[in-house]
Protein backbone atom coordinates (compact mmCIF):
# COMPACT_ATOMS: atom_id res chain seq x y z
CA UNK A 1 0.00 0.00 0.00
CA UNK A 2 1.57 3.30 -1.10
CA UNK A 3 0.53 5.98 1.39
CA UNK A 4 1.58 8.97 -0.78
CA UNK A 5 -0.27 7.71 -3.85
CA UNK A 6 -3.34 6.80 -1.82
CA UNK A 7 -3.46 10.25 -0.22
CA UNK A 8 -2.97 11.80 -3.66
CA UNK A 9 -5.86 9.70 -4.94
CA UNK A 10 -8.07 10.89 -2.09
CA UNK A 11 -7.14 14.48 -2.90
CA UNK A 12 -8.08 13.88 -6.52
CA UNK A 13 -11.73 13.77 -5.33
CA UNK A 14 -11.66 17.24 -3.75
CA UNK A 15 -9.32 19.48 -1.72
CA UNK A 16 -9.21 18.25 1.89
CA UNK A 17 -7.68 18.86 5.29
CA UNK A 18 -5.14 16.40 6.66
CA UNK A 19 -7.67 15.27 9.25
CA UNK A 20 -10.23 14.36 6.58
CA UNK A 21 -7.60 12.47 4.60
CA UNK A 22 -6.60 10.45 7.64
CA UNK A 23 -10.22 9.66 8.46
CA UNK A 24 -10.93 8.39 4.94
CA UNK A 25 -7.64 6.53 4.70
CA UNK A 26 -8.32 4.72 7.98
CA UNK A 27 -11.91 3.91 6.98
CA UNK A 28 -11.09 2.42 3.58
CA UNK A 29 -7.45 1.39 3.62
CA UNK A 30 -6.21 1.31 7.22
CA UNK A 31 -8.32 -1.63 8.36
CA UNK A 32 -6.93 -1.99 11.84
CA UNK A 33 -3.71 -0.12 11.08
CA UNK A 34 -4.59 3.58 11.28
CA UNK A 35 -2.28 6.11 9.70
CA UNK A 36 -0.48 8.25 12.32
CA UNK A 37 -1.21 11.98 12.03
CA UNK A 38 2.52 12.63 11.85
CA UNK A 39 2.81 10.46 8.75
CA UNK A 40 -0.15 12.19 7.11
CA UNK A 41 1.42 15.65 7.48
CA UNK A 42 4.96 14.60 6.64
CA UNK A 43 3.66 12.87 3.50
CA UNK A 44 1.63 15.94 2.51
CA UNK A 45 4.72 18.13 3.04
CA UNK A 46 6.79 15.94 0.73
CA UNK A 47 4.04 15.92 -1.88
CA UNK A 48 3.90 19.72 -1.68
CA UNK A 49 7.69 19.95 -1.99
CA UNK A 50 7.54 17.74 -5.10
CA UNK A 51 4.79 19.83 -6.67
CA UNK A 52 2.11 17.13 -6.44
CA UNK A 53 -0.13 19.11 -4.06
CA UNK A 54 -0.49 22.69 -2.94
CA UNK A 55 -1.19 23.76 0.62
CA UNK A 56 -3.66 26.58 1.23
CA UNK A 57 -3.33 29.26 3.85
CA UNK A 58 -3.70 28.14 7.44
CA UNK A 59 -7.32 28.49 8.51
CA UNK A 60 -8.33 29.69 11.96
CA UNK A 61 -9.29 26.96 14.42
CA UNK A 62 -7.90 24.36 16.75
CA UNK A 63 -5.66 21.53 15.70
CA UNK A 64 -2.15 21.10 14.47
CA UNK A 65 -2.71 21.93 10.84
CA UNK A 66 -5.70 23.71 9.37
CA UNK A 67 -4.41 23.87 5.81
CA UNK A 68 -6.53 22.62 2.97
CA UNK A 69 -4.52 20.61 0.44
CA UNK A 70 -5.31 20.40 -3.28
CA UNK A 71 -3.86 18.13 -5.93
CA UNK A 72 -1.87 19.69 -8.79
CA UNK A 73 -1.91 18.63 -12.44
CA UNK A 74 1.39 16.77 -11.88
CA UNK A 75 -0.17 14.97 -8.94
CA UNK A 76 -3.25 14.08 -10.95
CA UNK A 77 -1.08 12.63 -13.74
CA UNK A 78 0.81 10.55 -11.18
CA UNK A 79 -2.44 9.13 -9.81
CA UNK A 80 -3.63 8.34 -13.32
CA UNK A 81 -0.37 6.60 -14.21
CA UNK A 82 -0.43 4.60 -10.97
CA UNK A 83 -4.03 3.48 -11.47
CA UNK A 84 -3.56 2.41 -15.06
CA UNK A 85 -0.23 0.62 -14.66
CA UNK A 86 -0.55 -2.98 -13.46
CA UNK A 87 0.99 -3.71 -10.08
CA UNK A 88 4.17 -5.75 -10.16
CA UNK A 89 3.23 -9.38 -9.73
CA UNK A 90 5.33 -10.51 -6.80
CA UNK A 91 5.47 -14.21 -6.10
CA UNK A 92 7.13 -13.31 -2.85
CA UNK A 93 6.03 -16.14 -0.62
CA UNK A 94 6.74 -18.76 -3.25
CA UNK A 95 10.32 -17.58 -3.53
CA UNK A 96 10.83 -17.96 0.23
CA UNK A 97 9.16 -21.34 0.24
CA UNK A 98 11.04 -22.39 -2.86
CA UNK A 99 14.33 -21.56 -1.16
CA UNK A 100 13.28 -23.51 1.94
CA UNK A 101 12.26 -26.57 -0.06
CA UNK A 102 15.42 -26.65 -2.17
CA UNK A 103 17.67 -26.13 0.86
CA UNK A 104 15.78 -28.80 2.83
CA UNK A 105 16.33 -31.28 0.00
CA UNK A 106 20.00 -30.30 -0.31
CA UNK A 107 20.46 -30.83 3.42
CA UNK A 108 18.50 -34.08 3.51
CA UNK A 109 15.84 -32.54 5.73
CA UNK A 110 12.11 -33.46 5.61
CA UNK A 111 10.89 -31.02 2.95
CA UNK A 112 7.42 -32.63 2.90
CA UNK A 113 7.05 -31.96 6.63
CA UNK A 114 7.99 -28.32 6.12
CA UNK A 115 5.37 -28.05 3.39
CA UNK A 116 2.79 -29.64 5.73
CA UNK A 117 3.62 -27.07 8.39
CA UNK A 118 3.22 -24.27 5.89
CA UNK A 119 -0.04 -25.73 4.60
CA UNK A 120 -1.41 -25.88 8.15
CA UNK A 121 -0.40 -22.25 8.76
CA UNK A 122 -2.04 -21.19 5.49
CA UNK A 123 -5.25 -23.03 6.31
CA UNK A 124 -5.31 -21.51 9.80
CA UNK A 125 -5.10 -18.04 8.27
CA UNK A 126 -7.75 -19.00 5.70
CA UNK A 127 -10.06 -20.03 8.53
CA UNK A 128 -9.59 -16.62 10.18
CA UNK A 129 -10.30 -14.82 6.90
CA UNK A 130 -13.30 -17.07 6.20
CA UNK A 131 -14.74 -16.10 9.57
CA UNK A 132 -14.05 -12.43 8.81
CA UNK A 133 -15.83 -12.58 5.47
CA UNK A 134 -18.77 -14.40 7.04
CA UNK A 135 -19.49 -11.68 9.55
CA UNK A 136 -17.83 -8.53 8.24
CA UNK A 137 -19.00 -5.61 6.12
CA UNK A 138 -18.48 -5.64 2.36
CA UNK A 139 -15.08 -3.96 2.53
CA UNK A 140 -13.82 -6.64 4.92
CA UNK A 141 -15.33 -9.33 2.71
CA UNK A 142 -13.45 -8.03 -0.32
CA UNK A 143 -10.18 -7.73 1.59
CA UNK A 144 -10.64 -11.20 3.05
CA UNK A 145 -11.36 -12.54 -0.44
CA UNK A 146 -8.13 -10.99 -1.69
CA UNK A 147 -6.19 -12.74 1.05
CA UNK A 148 -8.04 -16.02 0.58
CA UNK A 149 -7.40 -16.18 -3.15
CA UNK A 150 -3.69 -15.50 -2.65
CA UNK A 151 -3.39 -18.07 0.10
CA UNK A 152 -5.24 -20.54 -2.07
CA UNK A 153 -2.76 -19.93 -4.88
CA UNK A 154 0.11 -20.57 -2.47
CA UNK A 155 -1.55 -23.81 -1.38
CA UNK A 156 -1.81 -24.93 -4.98
CA UNK A 157 1.88 -24.27 -5.35
CA UNK A 158 2.56 -26.23 -2.14
CA UNK A 159 0.51 -29.19 -3.46
CA UNK A 160 2.24 -29.09 -6.85
CA UNK A 161 5.66 -28.89 -5.23
CA UNK A 162 4.88 -31.76 -2.89
CA UNK A 163 3.89 -33.89 -5.87
CA UNK A 164 7.25 -33.11 -7.49
CA UNK A 165 9.49 -33.45 -4.45
CA UNK A 166 10.95 -36.71 -5.75
CA UNK A 167 12.17 -35.32 -9.05
CA UNK A 168 13.26 -32.07 -7.41
CA UNK A 169 15.31 -33.98 -4.84
CA UNK A 170 16.99 -35.94 -7.58
CA UNK A 171 17.86 -32.77 -9.48
CA UNK A 172 19.13 -30.96 -6.39
CA UNK A 173 21.31 -33.83 -5.24
CA UNK A 174 22.84 -34.61 -8.61
CA UNK A 175 23.63 -31.04 -9.61
Partner 1 sequence: MNGDLVNGDLVNSGHSINPIGTDLSSAQSAASPGTARGSLLEARELFRAFGNTPALQGASLSVAQGEVLAVMGPSGSGKSTLLHCLAGIYTPDRGEVWFDGHRIDTLGDNLRTEMRRTDFGFVFQFGQLVPELTALDNVALPLLLGKVRRKLAYETAQSWLVRLGLEELGARRTGELSGGQAQRVAIGRALATRPKVLFADEPTGALDSLTGEKVMDLLVSTARQEGTTVVVVTHDARVAACADREVMVRDGRVAAGYGAAAAAR
Interface residues with partner 1 (CB under 8 A)? 113, 116, 119-120, 122-123, 126-127, 129-130, 134, 148, 151-152, 155, 159, 163
- Which residues have a Cβ under 8 Å from the Cβ of 105 and sit 6 or more positions away? 111, 165, 168, 169, 172, 173
Task: Output the smallest distance, CB 98 to partner 1, in A.
Answer: 19
Q: Between 81 and 130, name the residue whose CB sits nearer to partner 1.
A: 130
Task: Output the smallest distance, CB 165 to partner 1, in A.
Answer: 12
How far from 46 is each of 18, 42, 43, 64, CA to CA, in Å?
13, 6, 5, 17
Task: Output the smallest distance, CB 72 to partner 1, in A.
Answer: 42
Task: Output the smallest distance, CB 123 to partner 1, in A.
Answer: 6
Q: Between 8 and 144, name the residue whose CB sits nearer to partner 1.
A: 144
Give, in degrees to the nearest 5, the angle at Cα 37 between 35 and 39: 70
Q: Between 106 and 153, name the residue whose CB sits nearer to partner 1.
A: 153
81: left (phi over 0), alpha (psi -120 to 50) or beta: alpha
d(CA 163, CA 175): 20
Q: Between 10 and 111, name the residue whose CB sits nearer to partner 1.
A: 111
Q: Is 54 helix (H, G, I), strand (E, B) or coil?
A: strand
Task: Output the smallest distance, CB 135 to partner 1, in A.
Answer: 11
Q: Between 1 and 153, name the residue whose CB sits nearer to partner 1.
A: 153
Q: Is 129 helix (H, G, I), strand (E, B) or coil?
A: helix
Amino acid sequence: MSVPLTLLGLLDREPSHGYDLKRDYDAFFGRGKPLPFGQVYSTLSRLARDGKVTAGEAEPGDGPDRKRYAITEAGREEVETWLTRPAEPEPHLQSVLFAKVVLALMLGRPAADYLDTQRAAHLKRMRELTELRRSGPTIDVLLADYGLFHLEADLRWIDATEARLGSLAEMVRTS
